[in-house]
Amino acid sequence: MSLKERFNNLEPKQKKVVIWAGIGAIFLALVATGYKSSKTDDSLGFFGQKKTREIQLEPDLIQKTMLREQRRQYDAIVENVDRIQDEVKLIKQTIKEKPLPEIPTADQVAAKAETTGPSQEIKQPWPLPPGGSTPGNLPPHAQPEAQIIGEISVISNPAAATEGMGTPGNKKKGRTVYLPPSFMEAQLLTGFDASTSGKGTNNPEPLLLRIQTPAVLPNDIKANLSGCFVIAEAVGRLDKERADVRLVSLSCLSNEGKAIIDTPVKGFVTDSDSKVGLSGRVVSRMGAATARTIVAGFFGGMGDMLKSAATTQSTSALGTTTTVDSSQIAKYSLGGGLSEGAASLHDFYLSLAKQATPVIEVGAAKKITVIISEGKELEIREIEGEPF
């Protein structure tokens, strides 16, 4: 059966649907053909989708880019080196064109002095040391030299240091270096028990600290004080459960053992929590003494009770009289002895309880921070004789 015969056999409604479907298909084909012909960008698809393009990178592109950048940096360095060489050549040429004045020899100075006459005096640009010798005649070991103490350079002049030693009683003055307020990490070498009583303030506990790192000075400058010892004193504080530590002295020795620093310093110590003082454990050993005091008081009261039971009190116009019953003499004697002995023990144990006040117990090998609160001139004294 052909298409025409099939179409004729359809119902009117079905024929109408087929006709409209054909008209719609023809309309859509015309619209699609016109839209495609109006588009000039071949990269877009029929529905506006962007076509993908395959990009193929050169395998050695990254290596070539890095090589080009390194070559550019190399050319810049070569250019800077050439510029510096040109500046050095210019400076050398300037020095050759303007030579420095020649230094006269000793013979020339003596000849000039003879021609000018003895009345004119040759002035020295520096003071003469004892003995009348000039600095040029000093031995090599007496020339000024720079020494490094931590990161601070100290220049010593032996000629100036020996000035005035010709007269008896004068001593050689050591070199000094200034230590401003600073802080440094340290380690507690000795443990201690700091008393919290009033007597502990007058008799603080001594302790020894060892500097572990260079001291941090103002403006991020460091001084090499590693290995130096610090003597300090500690007093317990029961209200804070900490021990307040105050510095006493600082002692340092050079590696060669030829110079030493031993001077008083002012400062304090902070714990790992950055609070002033060292945290510790409160230990009270007065419990046993207090218990013995209470027991002694109890026996004293028992003795007084036995004495009172063995006596009889009578009141008359003359006053109150106390008499001991003859049958209770043994009880009265026992009570008196017990009362007197208990009173003596009570006083003894009470004194022990007063001495056994709570203490702040701090163990050794504790990491702490030492803070110098006041600047100090550290005198570096040289040790005569064989070094340590």
Tens-place pLDDT, residues 291-325? 777 877 887 888 888 777 777 777 776 777 777 77
Query: 233 - beta bridge partners?
Result: 206, 246
Domain boundaries, the chain: 178-281+361-382, 285-310+339-356
Question: Any alpha helices (H) in 99-149, and if so which ranges?
Answer: 106-116
Regarding the domain delimited by 178-281+361-382, which CATH topology (the fold level of the hierarchy) does it fall under?
Answer: Lipocalin (2.40.128)
- The reported pLDDT for the residue numbered 171 is 46
What length is written for the chain? 388
The values of phi and psi at residue 63, to 5°, are: -65, -40
- The reported pLDDT for the residue numbered 9 is 74
Q: Sorting pLDDT into bands at 50, 70 and 90, what band is 142? A: very low
- The reported pLDDT for the residue numbered 150 is 44
- The reported pLDDT for the residue numbered 125 is 43
Angstrom distance (rounded) from CA 238 to CA 359:
8
Query: What is the mean pLDDT of the segment spanning 117-126?
Result: 45
pLDDT top residue among 173 and 351: 351
Query: What is the mean pLDDT of the segment spanning 15-28?
Result: 82
| Terminal Cα distance for the chain, rounded | 128
Buried b (16+ CB within 10 A) or exposed e, 276-312: ebbebeeeeeeeebeebbeebbebbeebbebbeebee
Q: Sorting pLDDT into bands at 50, 70 and 90, what band is 38? A: low
Q: Sorting pLDDT into bands at 50, 70 and 90, what band is 213? A: very high
Query: What is the mean pLDDT of the segment spanning 19-25?
Result: 83
Residue whose token pair is 């350079």 = 153
Residue 314 tokens, joined: 């009578």
Angle between helices 329-355 and 287-309 (to 10 degrees): 160
The tens digit of pLDDT for each residue in 69-114 reads: 888 888 999 999 999 988 888 888 877 766 656 667 767 777 776 6
Angstrom distance (rounded) from CA 363 to CA 281:
9
- The reported pLDDT for the residue numbered 36 is 66
- The reported pLDDT for the residue numbered 56 is 58
Average per-residue pLDDT in the chain? 75
The tens digit of pLDDT for each residue in 163-205 reads: 444 444 444 456 888 999 999 999 999 999 988 876 656 789 9
- The reported pLDDT for the residue numbered 100 is 57
Angstrom distance (rounded) from CA 33 to CA 46:
10
pTM: 0.46
Query: What does each C-alpha distance from 42 to 28, 46, 55, 315, 342 come to in angstroms?
Result: 21, 10, 17, 139, 119
- The reported pLDDT for the residue numbered 116 is 61
Q: Sorting pLDDT into bands at 50, 70 and 90, what band is 136? A: very low
Angstrom distance (rounded) from CA 144 to CA 161:
10
The values of phi and psi at residue 59, to 5°, are: -60, -35
pLDDT top residue among 120 and 249: 249
DSSP character for 135?
Answer: G
Question: Which of these ranges, 27-31, 167-171, 188-192, 342-346, has the smallest mean pLDDT?
Answer: 167-171
- The set of residues, in sequence order, having a beta carbon less than 8 Å from that of 277 and lying 6+ positions away, is 237, 240, 242, 243, 244, 245, 268, 269, 270, 271
Q: What percent of the chain has pLDDT over 90?
A: 22
Question: Which of these ranges, 32-36, 252-256, 258-262, 375-379, has the smallest mean pLDDT?
Answer: 32-36
- The reported pLDDT for the residue numbered 117 is 54
- The set of residues, in sequence order, having a beta carbon less than 8 Å from that of 313 and lying 6+ positions away, is 320, 321, 322, 323
